[in-house]
Amino acid sequence: MSFFIAEATAQAQTTAAAPQGAGFLNILLLGGLFLFMYFMIIRPQRKRQKEHQSLVDGLAKGDEVVLSSGMVGKITEVDEAYISVQASDNVELKFQKASVHAVLPKGTLKSL
């Protein structure tokens, strides 16, 4: 029986020691994972965020817009943080600027 215990002890000692350079490899893999996350998730999200911010900053009276709720209308008034949208005749609603999803080309509302 002592013969098997000696083999197990010898085997445990050889596998417990990490090979040299394993710490560098782990850091390299972690850095690679971070770069992957940056280029696949963080960078595209920041790009979309900047595009949306420039869209919101460029809103002007008379623009035809689609809101995030799906409502389509024409901007009648622009404040610092809010816009007034004319949804139909005599119906004017107030929304936050951030709720604008897209600006439509002029004349789109008449074709709907």
Does pLDDT of 21 surpass 80? Answer: no
79-107 mean pLDDT: 94
Cβ neighbours for 65, distance < 8 A, ≥ 6 positions apart? 59, 72, 73, 74, 75, 83, 85, 100, 101, 102, 103, 104
Query: How high is the pLDDT of residue 2?
Result: 58
Query: How high is the pLDDT of residue 104?
Result: 95
Residues for the chain: how many in total? 112
Query: How high is the pLDDT of residue 9?
Result: 60
50-54 mean pLDDT: 96
Q: What is the pLDDT of residues 57-84, one digit of tens each?
A: 999 999 999 999 999 999 999 999 999 9
pTM: 0.70
